[in-house]
Amino acid sequence: MKIHIKRTVFILLLSLSGSLMGQEVKKRNTLEGYPKYTIAVQPFHLMNGTLKLDFETQLKSPKNWLQLSISGSYLGTRDMYSSNYSWSTFNSDFNDFSGLKGFGLGAAYKSIIYSTWLYYRAGVAYDHYRVKYPGFGYFPYIEDGLTYYEYHWTQQKQIFNKLSSSICIGMQSHFSNVLFFDAYIGIGYAYSMYDKDKRSFEEGMYGFGRRGAFLAGGVRIGVAFGK
């Protein structure tokens, strides 16, 4: 049920963006006089407990932009013995985990192909995650000067350092010279580094431990400023 709800929301957001873009192309077809900077939020990432912000600045031409991204992830640790002990997100391929902390950084080059704001974007990103999950493991303890290991159910932690790159196409829709909305889609490749002796969360396309290709995409809502 969680999978269907989140995918439905994502599809509705993309459909809305397509409708808005179709209307906007008729209204605005020039880059002349457009502000030099933008700040945008990517609401899709909120489903994963992540707030992601993009900052863009024009380069030498109003058709060429540098995009810098920063993100922070947080889902509070849940009691593994309670009935509502886990979280479930795209990052975990909807497998259960009990807590999340992390951050991300990214940079991309964006080029406007047409004055109707069809664009392509190529970029790289780094994400760091600290994921808590319940599971069995061996844990040392000392008794009478000797070290023993006990196997029991407890809270464990896996650390992920994930590198990725992607190439996307998108279209940006402007409500005015200030507000804009855009959607993008493309392909990417991710390589995550983690402790192989612990849970990897690598099964899905967007997993914390993903090593391979993935479908990139999302929507952005933001404001433009500066002349």
CATH of the domain at 125: 2.40.160.20
Average pLDDT over residues 41-50: 93
Does any domain span residue 10?
no
Does any domain span residue 149?
no
Does any domain span residue 122?
yes
Does any domain span residue 212?
yes
Does any domain span residue 5?
no
Residue of 12 and 47 predicted with greater confidence: 47
Asked if pLDDT for residue 183 goes beyond 90, the answer is yes
Residue 201 has what pLDDT?
A: 87
Average pLDDT over residues 203-207: 86
For 96-110, how does the pLDDT look when each residue is reduced to its tens digit (9 = 90+)? 888 999 999 999 999
For 75-130, how does the pLDDT look when each residue is reduced to its tens digit (9 = 90+)? 988 877 766 667 878 777 666 888 999 999 999 999 998 766 899 999 999 999 99
Instruction: Report how many domains make up the chain.
Output: 1
SS (H, E, C) the chain: CHHHHHHHHHHHHHHHHHHHHHHHHHHCCCCCCCCCEEEEECHHHHHHCEEEEEEEEECCCCCEEEEEEEEEEEECCCCCCCCCCCECCHHHCCCCECEEEEEEEEEEEEEECCCCCEEEEEEEEEEEEEEEEEEEEEEEEEECCEEEEEEEEEEEEEEEEEEEEEEEEEEEEECCCCEEEEEEEEEEEEEEECCCCCCCCCCCCCCCCCEEEEEEEEEEEEEEECC
Does any domain span residue 8?
no
Does any domain span residue 142?
no
**pTM for this predicted structure:** 0.79
Asked if pLDDT for residue 176 goes beyond 90, the answer is no
Does any domain span residue 58?
yes
Q: Which domain holds residue 214?
A: 34-73+87-131+157-225
Asked if pLDDT for residue 172 goes beyond 50, the answer is yes
